[in-house]
Amino acid sequence: MAAAEKPVYYNELLNDMPQECMLQQSHDMLRQDIQNCRLCPFAKLTKPLPLNNFDASIMIVGETPDDVLYDGKRGGKLGKLLVEMGIDLKDVYLTSLTKCSESQDSAKCAHHLTGEILTVRPSIIVCLGYKISSTIMQQPQFGQYVQIAPYTHALATYSFADAEEAIVLDTLRGQFNYILNVLQGMRTA
């Protein structure tokens, strides 16, 4: 981020969002908006995430699609960890701040992420890495769950790019285990 650039936070995105985006979009409309986006030159070259599981309780947000796609190195680690922890993949919505693998301009994609949060309405948003955490939370507190909207909490945690170290992977396991327990508690309440 350039020194002169001011960071953009989730709650500020809501203030700057066009009124029609504030209405809960249908899943199909959201998917179409993202897939037809042409705000940057990379949109024509790459396909965005598949955008499934709109009824998921958990939203996992990476910086790029490669952070969450199960067929990539980092996303593969994520998928393996989710299965290992017993988290039902049908209860997980995967997304990223930038929607195209090559894009570096997150500001042009930020409104899509806000639309996804408003449409999916997850119970927990897992922010993989500092950039995502600082976009969604004004003061990200690593490892803590922060309420960002009614019935939605966010967790600032490591990116899977950092998961080469055993201690990082153990921390991620512990956090996903906690998420699983929270969701099970919500379902039995």
Domains of the chain by range and CATH? 26-188 (3.40.470.10)
What does pTM read for this prediction?
Answer: 0.79
* pLDDT beneath 70, residues of the chain: 1-25, 42-49, 101-105, 189
Position 3 scores a pLDDT of 46
Residues 6+ apart with CB under 8 A from 126: 58, 59, 60, 61, 154, 155, 157, 175, 176, 179
Distance in angstroms (rounded) separating the CA atoms of residues 34 and 43? 9
| Closest to 93 (Cα-Cα) out of 157, 30, 49 | 49
Position 92 scores a pLDDT of 93
What is the tens place of the pLDDT at every residue in 69-118? 888 788 888 999 999 999 988 899 999 888 776 666 677 778 788 888 88
Distance in angstroms (rounded) separating the CA atoms of residues 106 and 98? 5
Where are the alpha helices (H) located in the chain, listed in sequence order? 10-16, 19-22, 27-35, 73-85, 110-120, 130-136, 166-188
State phi, psi for 139 to the nearest 5 degrees: -130, 80
Distance in angstroms (rounded) separating the CA atoms of residues 4 and 186? 43
